[in-house]
Amino acid sequence: MEWADVHIETVQVGSRIRLRPLQSQNRYGQRVPQLWISGSKAIREQYPLGTVFVADLQLVRPDRSGDYLRIRPGHELSLLEQKNVKRSLSGQLILF
């Protein structure tokens, strides 16, 4: 399963910086799952926490571990301009 043009952000989980989709996104009538995203460590460390990107994602279902998302091979992340992103009082990102 694949999703195009998904907004994802960098977040801190314990001591690690991770990537995850922003909540409540639908593409082609299907909700984008809230799973961790496999991505370049260099990208995760190069940008500050809360940086928002646009990416094409694929669902990966390995045999021995839980499902996760990955950035579609050959697709580069696009940085979303920060002027188009604000946080609500609850901390949720608002895109406009």
Compute the average pLDDT of residues 70-74: 87
What is residue 40's predicted lDDT score, i.e. its pLDDT?
84
Structural domains in the chain, sorted by start: 2-95 (2.40.50)
Q: Is the pLDDT of residue 96 over 90?
A: no
The enclosing H or E element of 43 equals helix 41-46
Please state the pTM of the whole predicted model.
0.77
What Å distances lie between residue 66 and 43, 60, 82, CA to CA? 23, 9, 32
What Å distances lie between residue 54 and 5, 66, 77, CA to CA? 5, 24, 6
Q: Give pLDDT tens digits for 8-31.
A: 989 999 999 999 998 878 777 788
